Amino acid sequence: MWIFFVIPMAIAGDVWRAEHSDGSVSFTDSPSSAVAYAIFDVEGPPPKVGRVNLKSFPSLDTFDGLITAAAHRYTVEPSLIKAVVLAESGMNPNAVSRSGAQGLMQLMPPTAADLGVTDPFDPAQCIDGGTRYIAKMLNIFQGDLRLALAGYNAGPNRVKRTMTVPNIPETQTYVKRVLALRRYFKNTRPIIYVPERP
């Protein structure tokens, strides 16, 4: 079964699933009336990603050098970073969310300031800062990917209260989406390490 992410995934909300006549499956958070979408169960396991539609994400591999450099610098899996970037911004360095999160890794201004990121729209700064923040979440939650991602999305203090993924549909959907993309970038379409230029 092939799954196509057909729109930028930085927009929060419900996730809808549709099966098409050619056998493909698509997911969206803004369903079209022309396609029969059904609400996707965010409680189940992460969906399997067959491929990511390059027409929807033409910049999919543009930032691999920055991603692998940050991954090496902070000892974070590059497939995880790339999954977060795609889920957060759809690989758009100029993305701004309704809540004011900015750049490829959708850093909130106070978080960016804490991380020393002076320009969140600069891909190098945003990926570096976002990767440091992921590393911090992984450290706080002792390597638990689900909790680290929930902390990245909803804030670590909210996750610490119960040490579970909060019962927030957006966060539950986000965690599943990133884990599915991480598996895809790790196993199906791995990133080739690109060393930093001297």
CB atoms within 10 A of CB 24: 15
Q: What is the maximum span of the chain, computed from C-alpha positions, in angstroms? A: 52
d(CA 69, CA 46): 27
Helix axes 145-154, 78-89, angle to 10 degrees: 30
Evaluate whether 50 touches 2 at the Cβ level (below 8 Å): yes
Identify whether 19 is a catalytic site residue: no
Structure tokens at 71: 């991954």
d(CA 50, CA 150): 24
Q: Which of 19, 43, 77, 88 is catalytic?
A: 88
Residues annotated as catalytic are 88
